[in-house]
Every structure is written in structure tokens, then in C-alpha cells.
């Protein structure tokens, strides 16, 4: 070993010990007679001290050490005269008797400090330097800790970690597959798994009872938002369970995880239905760190000539709104921004009505023409409006109003700093619909995946009104992010066939795509269900990262590139020939 101690472990109790440290030069301070070098490793920083009076040669050499030089230093632990409480080793320093430069360093392209001057592109290119920064280093350490606690909890509950293959059959299941050309079977391809969904179900058929795997999954999606081509799931499945068993098991996981990693006591995880979530928060992943629910007004609207509201009510739509507490003082510009926000195409409202409960006791509205102050106050009662509140009302088709107000609710929370970052909102959303309508064809398509079990209570609607059928599906939502999704699966081959048929898969397509699963169900499939957590997103939320890139050692850019390695790249003609493929770049494709 090049060291007897790390740079994070020496304390007052070690004073007068002879030690050898090794690490990187964080910085040097030359105070004339004394020179200090901060030596850094993964575990911390220790101050090295050099004295011109006692060892001028050594001190002169130390002054020449550049940032990020790798140094091995031998010396004695002494108590510091001026202690630092910024670092754990701040009570001591090392009086160095000898040191060796193990490797020199050029000046790094950005500051290796918590607050760096490098932009993200530069830092991705030099990721090995970026990881030296404590903030990223600590996230990677926390990620490992999180994975470790998850494994411990699941193993302790009889879950067996089983590796499933990366090379599977391409069975279009929502997103696009990444493909791997097979050299040994020319013209054929493996697919990389989007999730081990079918394989874990087969492990239940195989009697493995409780399975988990922390596993890489792959989806070839366009990189909108915070996506990576490869991501990591905590994939779980259990046999002989009902929905509540799964919810309780993974509620236990989250509680244990939070306690053992970030020392947070998670209270009982609330369960709300999909229908309720949509109605109250306009989202199937509501953030409940703040309240501000959607208030529906159809039943309480005062009589008026206001056509927008009246039309919405009479055409079966929805009039609803939010109470932006304390925002009555918003300027015209701010109110216009909110209106623009709900008008953008993916929300599509035509506008917002506002009612301002001013501090001076007056009530003003953008629809003063249609409502008396009395009537406005009556509407305000539905919101519990008080002086200083701003009501924002919308009317349109129900789904559009809910979604837009749900988004607006989050936007208001950000604008007004309603979110207490020290709080956690963790809940189960249950009773998702089994099918939804394909916007183009009007046919039922699955909401989650085609293996979710319908709720037996709703089987009466299966043929007549399939959109009414709830699935035994559940999501765990953390601070407004879906971090886990799961369901009780179908284990009856006939029911599985009925669902496939409803999705428009005929016998042949079923056999071709899912034949091996259907076949396995003939040989005694147990009732089973499970879920999968998105590890990257969970780590991001638990470590205060802003994107999932912050939780990965070597992420890709939003264009799918690795800037450090420079991948993907063209490959040799010989490699392609061996794989029996040819490049075929269309001009249009460029």
C-alpha cells in the first residue's frame, strides 16, 4: 500500500503517529515561513505542513506542487494551532518529513471544487475530473449505498436476485428496441430488454417465488426530457400475492431505505386512486408537498351569462380552478404569463379567468362583466378564499381542464416557493384504468402493459365498456415523480388471451410475440405481481440532483453521445461484413 491512512480519517487521537498518506493536491498555500498543502482523496482532505525553518529543501519542493498532482507524503500527525471545522480532519495536520510525486498533472480544464466553472459539456468530456468534485463523488457513493440497502431489504424478505439475459427476443412493447445483430445467425437480431417483464413472470412460473434484480434496461427513445438510452431498474416480482401485499412490501422498502440512507422517517404511504388524483391534482403523479387542490365548480356556479362557463357545463365539460394563496397582487404581466402557460398546445386551454381577493377587501375579476362581487365571493367560498388570494379558473373538456390546472398547480408552486425542499411527498396511486383510447383509431390500447390484471370487480364491463375497467396497477410517486410502477399480473392463460384480443392481437400475433409466455401459463402459473423502481430517478431525488445524469458515472448527452469516449462511432467495414449488415443512410434520415 502506498498509504497507512486515508485523507479522511486522522483525528486528535492520532497525534504523534507516523503516517503515510496519498492523494491529490487540492491546493497549496504559501505563508512565507510555512507552506500548507491540502491533500484530497475519496475520504476527505488532510492538511500537510512544511516549514522553511526546519526543512527548507522540502518546503521549496512542496511550493512547486501543482493542483491535482498525485503525491505520497510521510510525516507525523500533530495538533493544529488554528483548527478548521470545515473538514473532518480539521483538528490535525501532518508535519511532512518526505514526499514523492507519484504523478504530475496538467492544469485541469475546470475548477475541481463543489462550485465549478466548467459547463456541462466540458465536464462530460472530462468526466473523470468532474467525479473528483465532492458533490458528484458523494452522489455516486450514495447511489451505491441506496442499492446496497435495497438489496439488503429484499434479500431479508426472501427475494432472490436473479440475472436475466440482455440478449432477448424483439417484441415491440411500447418503446423502440435497441437491436444487436447476430453474427452466428446472419440476418437475425437480439433485442436489448426494455425491462425483464416477461422473464420475471417466467421466473414466477418457474417457482422462484420472490425475485429481484437491479438491472440495466434499454429504450431507444427520442431524448426528450431527462432520458438516457440505458437506465437502471430495481425490478421485483412476488408469487401468491394480492395488490395489498405488494404495496405493503414496497412501502416497507421505501421506509427502510430512507431511514438507512438519509435518516428520514417516512410516515405511512398514502394511497389515492387514479380517479381522485386526476380530479384533485390533474395528474397521476401529484406532488403533495403543497396542497392547492383543483376545486370543481360545475355544481356551485352562480347563474350568469358568461358563455365560456355555461357552455362547458352544458356540454358535459368542467369548470374548475385553483386558489393561488397570497397571489392577489400578481401583476398584469404575471397573470398573462399564467394564461400563456395554459394555452400552449399540449395543454390547449383558451384562457384563464382570475378572481383577485385583494388585501383591501375588494374582489376583482377578469369577468366582472358577468359576475357581481356577491357572486364572485360565492365562488370564492368554494375555495375558502381569503384576502390576498388569487383564484384561477378554467373551463373546457374535463381532461383538458384537469391536466392544465394540474400543470398550473406545479408552476404556481415553483413561482411562489410553496415547496419545502426538506419535505417528502410519497404516495401510491392505485386503480389505474386497464385500457385507454387510442387517439387516432379509437381502439383500446393498454395503459401500462398487456400483462396487467383487470380488477375482477370490473370484469362485467370488459366487453361492453372496456375503458371502465380498472387494472390492478399501482405507481409510487415521490415529490411528483413516478419512481415505481407495478401491477398484479394475469396468470390465467384464457384471460391473457382475452386481453390480447381486446388489444387487437390475433391468435397468430399472440403466438409470434408472446407464445412462450402463453405456453408457460399452461403448466401452472401462480398468481403473481410486482413492480419496478427507476433507480436513477430515485437516486436523483434522494441526492438533490437536477437530472438523472447527475446520478451516473458516465452518462450520455441528450443526443445519446458519450463525449468522453466519443461514442457512438462508425466501425470497420470488416465488422459490418461479419455481422451481415450494411450501412444504409437515407438522405432524408440525416
Per CB under 8 A, which of residues 28..67 are in contact with a copy of itself?
Answer: 40-43
Question: Is 241 or 320 the residue whose CB approaches a copy of itself more closely?
Answer: 241
Binding track over 231-250 against a copy of itself, x by CB under 8 A: -x-------xxx--x-----
For position 462 contacting a copy of itself by CB under 8 A, the verdict is no
Nearer to a copy of itself, 161 or 465 (CB): 161
Asked whether position 494 contacts a copy of itself by CB under 8 A, the answer is no
Interface positions, 316-375, toward a copy of itself (CB under 8 A): none
- SS3 state of residue 375: helix
Answer for which of 83, 364, 387, 577 binds a copy of itself (CB under 8 A) is: 577
Please state, in angstroms and rounded to a whole number, the distance separating the CA atoms of residues 189 and 355.
60
Q: CB of residue 563 vs a copy of itself: minimum separation in angstroms?
A: 10
Q: How far is the CB of 500 from a copy of itself (least distance, A)?
A: 17
Interface with a copy of itself, residue 309, by CB under 8 A: no
CB of 182 to a copy of itself, least distance (A): 4
Task: Kindly tell me which of 3 and 448 has the beta carbon lying closer to a copy of itself.
Answer: 3
Q: Which residues in 539-568 are b (16+ Cβ under 10 Å) and which e?
A: bbbbbebebbbbbbeebbeeeeebbeeeee
Rounded-to-integer distance, Cα 295 and Cα 385, Å: 12
**Reduced to 3 states, what is the DSSP secondary structure of residue 398?**
helix
Q: Is 185 in the site for a copy of itself (CB under 8 A)?
A: yes
Could you say which residues in the range 501-540 bind a copy of itself, by CB under 8 A? 515-516, 520-527
Smallest separation (angstroms) from a copy of itself to the CB of 16: 24
Instruction: Tell me if 8 sits within 8 A of 43, measured CB to CB.
Output: yes
Q: Which of 54, 84, 113, 167 binds a copy of itself (CB under 8 A)?
A: 167
Q: Give the one residue of 18, 54, 56, 128 binding a copy of itself; rule: CB under 8 A.
A: 128
DSSP string for 159-209: -EE-PPPSSB----BSBPPPEEE-SSSTT-EEE--S--HHHHHHHHHTT--
Here's the x/- map for a copy of itself, 211-230, by CB under 8 A: it reads as: -----x-x-x-xx-----xx
Query: CB-wise, 262 or 565, nearer to a copy of itself?
Result: 565
User: What's the grid cell of residue 140?
Assistant: 455516486
Count, residues near a copy of itself per rule CB under 8 A:
128
149 sits near a copy of itself (criterion: CB under 8 A): no
**449 contacts a copy of itself (rule: CB under 8 A):** no
Residue 186 contacts a copy of itself per CB under 8 A: yes
Closest contact distance (angstroms) between CB of 176 and a copy of itself is 7
* Angle (CA) 197 202 207, round 5°: 130
Residue with cell 425491462: 195
Closer residue to a copy of itself, CB minimum distance, 26 or 404? 26
CA distances from 202 to 169, 217, 241, 447, 527 (A): 14, 18, 16, 22, 12
Whether 398 and 315 have beta carbons less than 8 Å apart is answered as no
Q: Is 580 in the site for a copy of itself (CB under 8 A)?
A: yes
> What 8-state DSSP symbol labels residue 55?
-
Three-class SS state of 233: strand
Q: Among residues 218 and 371, whose Cβ is nearest to a copy of itself?
A: 218
DSSP-derived pairing of the beta strands 270-273 and 426-430: parallel
Query: Which of left, alpha, beta for 142 (phi over 0: left; psi -120 to 50: alpha)?
Result: alpha
Residue number, 42 or 289, with CB nearest to a copy of itself: 42
162 makes contact with a copy of itself (CB under 8 A): yes
Taking the CB of residue 403, how many other CB atoms lie within 10 A of it? 20
* Residue 122 interacts with a copy of itself (CB under 8 A): yes or no: no
Give the Cα separation of 233 and 236 in Å (integer): 9
Q: Determine which helix (DSSP H) or strand (DSSP E) holds 528, and give its type and residue range.
A: strand 528-534
What are the angstrom distances between the C-alpha of 68 and each of 23, 58, 109, 379, 517?
A: 9, 19, 11, 65, 55
Q: Which of residues 277-296 bind a copy of itself (CB under 8 A)?
A: none
**Contact residue for a copy of itself among 30, 407, 411, 562 (CB under 8 A):** 562
Q: Name which of 200 and 403 has its Cβ closer to a copy of itself.
A: 200
364 versus 577: smaller Cβ distance to a copy of itself: 577
Amino acid at each position: 500500500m502506498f498509504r497507512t491512512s486515508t485523507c479522511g480519517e486522522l483525528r486528535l487521537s492520532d497525534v504523534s503517529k507516523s503516517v503515510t498518506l496519498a492523494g491529490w493536491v487540492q491546493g497549496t498555500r504559501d505563508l512565507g515561513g510555512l507552506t500548507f498543502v491540502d491533500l484530497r482523496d475519496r475520504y476527505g482532505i488532510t492538511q500537510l505542513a512544511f516549514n522553511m525553518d526546519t526543512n527548507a529543501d522540502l518546503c521549496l519542493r512542496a511550493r512547486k506542487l501543482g493542483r491535482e498532482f498525485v503525491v505520497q507524503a510521510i510525516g507525523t500527525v500533530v495538533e493544529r494551532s488554528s483548527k478548521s471545522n470545515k473538514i473532518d480532519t480539521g483538528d490535525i495536520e501532518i508535519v511532512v518529513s518526505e514526499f514523492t510525486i507519484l504523478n504530475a498533472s496538467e492544469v485541469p480544464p475546470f475548477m475541481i471544487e463543489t462550485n465549478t466553472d466548467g459547463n456541462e459539456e466540458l465536464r462530460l468530456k472530462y468526466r473523470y475530473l468532474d467525479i473528483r468534485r465532492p458533490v458528484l463523488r458523494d452522489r455516486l457513493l450514495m447511489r451505491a449505498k441506496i442499492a446496497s440497502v435495497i438489496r439488503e431489504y429484499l434479500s431479508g424478505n426472501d427475494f432472490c436476485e436473479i440475472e436475466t439475459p440482455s440478449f432477448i427476443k424483439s417484441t415491440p412493447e411500447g418503446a423502440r428496441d435497441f437491436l444487436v445483430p447476430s453474427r452466428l445467425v446472419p440476418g437475425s437480431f437480439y433485442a436489448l430488454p426494455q425491462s425483464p417483464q416477461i422473464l420475471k413472470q417466467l421466473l414466477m412460473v418457474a417457482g422462484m417465488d420472490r425475485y429481484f434484480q437491479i438491472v440495466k434496461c434499454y429504450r431507444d427513445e427520442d431524448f426528450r426530457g431527462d432520458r438516457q438510452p440505458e437506465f437502471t431498474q430495481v425490478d421485483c416480482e412476488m408469487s401468491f400475492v394480492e395488490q395489498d401485499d405488494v404495496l405493503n412490501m414496497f412501502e416497507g422498502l421505501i421506509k427502510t431505505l430512507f431511514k438507512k440512507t438519509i435518516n428520514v422517517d417516512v410516515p405511512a404511504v398514502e394511497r389515492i386512486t387514479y380517479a381522485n388524483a386526476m380530479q384533485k391534482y390533474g395528474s397521476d403523479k401529484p406532488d403533495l408537498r403543497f396542497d392547492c387542490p383543483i376545486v370543481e365548480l360545475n355544481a356551485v356556479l352562480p347563474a350568469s351569462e358568461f358563455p365560456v362557463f355555461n357552455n362547458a357545463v352544458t356540454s358535459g365539460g368542467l369548470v374548475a380552478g385553483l386558489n393561488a394563496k397570497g397571489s392577489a397582487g400578481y401583476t398584469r404581466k404575471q397573470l398573462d404569463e399564467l394564461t400563456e402557460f395554459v394555452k400552449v398546445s399540449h395543454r390547449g386551454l383558451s384562457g384563464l379567468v382570475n378572481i383577485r381577493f385583494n388585501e383591501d377587501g375588494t374582489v376583482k375579476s377578469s369577468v366582472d362583466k358577468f359576475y357581481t362581487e356577491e357572486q364572485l365571493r360565492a365562488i370564492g367560498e368554494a375555495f375558502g378564499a381569503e384576502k390576498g388570494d388569487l383564484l384561477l379558473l378554467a373551463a373546457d373538456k374535463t381532461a383538458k381542464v384537469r391536466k392544465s390546472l394540474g400543470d398550473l398547480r406545479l408552476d404556481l408552486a415553483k413561482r411562489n416557493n410553496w415547496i419545502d425542499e426538506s419535505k417528502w411527498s410519497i404516495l401510491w396511486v392505485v386503480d389505474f384504468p386497464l385500457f385507454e383510447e387510442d387517439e387516432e383509431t379509437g381502439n383500446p390500447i393498454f395503459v401500462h402493459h398487456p400483462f396487467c390484471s383487470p380488477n375482477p370487480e370490473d370484469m362485467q364491463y370488459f366487453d361492453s365498456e372496456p375503458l371502465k375497467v380498472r387494472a390492478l396497477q399501482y405507481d409510487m410517486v415521490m415529490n411528483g415523480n413516478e419512481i415505481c410502477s407495478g401491477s398484479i399480473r394475469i396468470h390465467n392463460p384464457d384471460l391473457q388471451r382475452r386481453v390480447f384480443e381486446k388489444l387487437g392481437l390475433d391468435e397468430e400475433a399472440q403466438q409470434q410475440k408472446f407464445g412462450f409466455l402463453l405456453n408457460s401459463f399452461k403448466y401452472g402459473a401462480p398468481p403473481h405481481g410486482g413492480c419496478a423502481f427507476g433507480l436513477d430517478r430515485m437516486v436523483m431525488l434522494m441526492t438533490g440532483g437536477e437530472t438523472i445524469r447527475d446520478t451516473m458515472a458516465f452518462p450520455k448527452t441528450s443526443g445519446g453521445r458519450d463525449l468522453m469516449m466519443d461514442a457512438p462511432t462508425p466501425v470497420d467495414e470488416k465488422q459490418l461484413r461479419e455481422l451481415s449488415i450494411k450501412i444504409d443512410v437515407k438522405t432524408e434520415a440525416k
